[in-house]
Structure 1
Amino acid sequence: MTDNSTRPRTALVTGSAGFIGFHLCRRLLAEHWTVIGVDGLTEYYDVTLKKRRHAILDSQAAFEPIVARIETEGLLSELVQAHEPSVIVHLAAQAGVRYSLEAPRSYVQSNLCGTTEVLEAARLCPPQHLLMASTSSVYGANSEMPYRETAQSDHPLSFYAATKKANEAMAHAYAHLYGVPITMFRFFTVYGPWGRPDMALFKFVKAILENRPIDIYNHGRMRRDFTYVDDLVEGLVRLVERPPVMGTSIAGDSLSPVAPWRILNIGHGAPEVLEDFVDAVEAALGMKAQRNYMDMQPGDVPATWADTSLLTELVGPLPKTSLNDGVRRFVDWYKTYHSHGPK
């Protein structure tokens, strides 16, 4: 008799060549999942980096890469009906607060139209659990911290945040109308090896090694809930098995009363001052930075801080990699990656 518990499960992951998507896919493959990875390999940042991530995943037989934009009408519906994944993880998005000031239409196409395609695919062939990325940026002008999932998030300060808030509302409607169990994740500042070149850590390390000054916004008084990527992925993997079920709410829950839909913060749970973050980068590199202090940019918020008590209640305590350890691991990866040169 076949032991069904050992049979491979199938996940469809959008944004599989992205920073978080790559790490999640690698973890799922290590746990013997079959993974269908969809990524458009867009040019928002270095496509070579995305291709190298995908190549690592594609070295495993259980990974099937699909290079296509998620907003392509009907594409995801066809993939989901063909593969019938038990889990869909939607991570693909046009990211970046500052870039949304320059190219808002790209956020409409990816974050609104693309997410609609994900929801339609889930409607046509419902998975056991649909997990979708949101962002801490949706808390916007809310200054009451730490941020709780039930706190007000009606005043986004960037168009990027507005599209993610819209995604949460869109997902709620589909969960209510079609019974698709959906968990929305509000990610806080994620960092680690294979990170995005548009993020502060990548920029800081690159500039310091090249003896160039680094831009430090809000004169170093920014505070961020820096979350190491492996800690975040651990949370995602645990929550795969915890789809929301109506009528099962716990104290402080964000579970909808009318839909199998929940919002969860995933963060380190403690803010770090940007100056201390730069200190950690200097310590890892053994070099001093030339610090260029600047005013805060439009759309940014001065601080983020996740209340992770609901997440802990659902899946138990997650690892909490220290800032110094996490930054050092990134620096070690960065030096190795660039010693071979982008290929």
Structure 2
Amino acid sequence: MHMTHLQLVDFRSYPSLELTLPPGVVTFVGSNGQGKTNLLEAVGYVATLGSHRVSGDVPLIREGAEHAVIRSRVVRGERAALAEIEILPGRANRVRLNRRQLSRPRELLGLLSVVLFAPEDLQMVKGDPAARRQFLDELLVARSPRLAGVIADYERVLRQRTTLLRARGDLRTLDSWDESLVRHGAELLSARLALVDELRPQIAAAYAAVAGAETSTPVGVDYRCSVPLPEGADREAIADAMLAELATLRPREVERGVTLAGPHRDELVLSVGGRPARGYASHGESWSLALALRLAAFELLGADDRGPVLLLDDVFAELDTHRRRRLAELVAPAEQVLITAAVDADVPAELGGPRFTVRTGEVSLAD
């Protein structure tokens, strides 16, 4: 899978841009603030219908413009597809696939898979649990796009149930809200648990590959659930356990005005050498673990025949020489790797391919 063409209209700093992208490694070099990350953000938007930098769409539209457009051609095997996304502030975005308008934007999910490496990845290790839950959910959707609807439905019911608790409204309706929350939550939780079981050996292997000979420190990956679950619980048993826990917690929830159990309260626990990575891992260990999470996602998507496009956003500048070299060796075999760097020397020599210069929203092939 790779992207062969990217066109932007009034997206971020680009009034108009057209790029032809070959498979293999492509590098964009430019000083900070010139628009390098905007390119990877646009590619990522085609894959996820969201930005890794902002939660809403308004900042994606160039100042003074009414809307933004992303057009891309994606090749998978012998087949090519044209995706067109019109980002409309305050309205539902319009999405077309091969010139046909989709009834719902999320029908585009699954066309393109990406794995993004960025300086913000360190927050997956050092930051709050929400960053790790987001990592899991994004990977779930990349592997099974229909789960985007499950996650959206769970979040919608959670907001409505929590609003009812805070307003101290007709609490007799809580039973029906609990049933809706559990229906979507049990499916999401079941998918997360299965995913963590698949990720665990992949993360351990990737961590060892990134760290190399410098360490044999074991890493741990565990899912801490806010609902007590029986061993080997299936989706039905998970639903029963969620309902029971919500019933137990109801007095406290009514008092505090918050939903206290469910996937939104869970935690992906990462450890290095038997100690929690958050708060104990060194800077180097934290970076190795963050890279291992992304590399594990890359391996799982590749095993699903969704070989993703790899996006490396100024990540080499954050790494020491050893980790730069190891990461370069690990990502080089991918079908397409798009890299940004502030200076050319940040990109290891092992990664060849064309290099583009980015200056104030203009992209040109380097001499």
- The alignment's TM-score, normalised by the length of structure 2, stands at 0.31
Larger radius of gyration: 2
Instruction: Please state which structure has a larger fraction of its residues in helix.
Output: 2
Instruction: Please state which structure has a larger fraction of its residues in strand.
Output: 2
- The alignment's TM-score, normalised by the length of structure 1, stands at 0.33
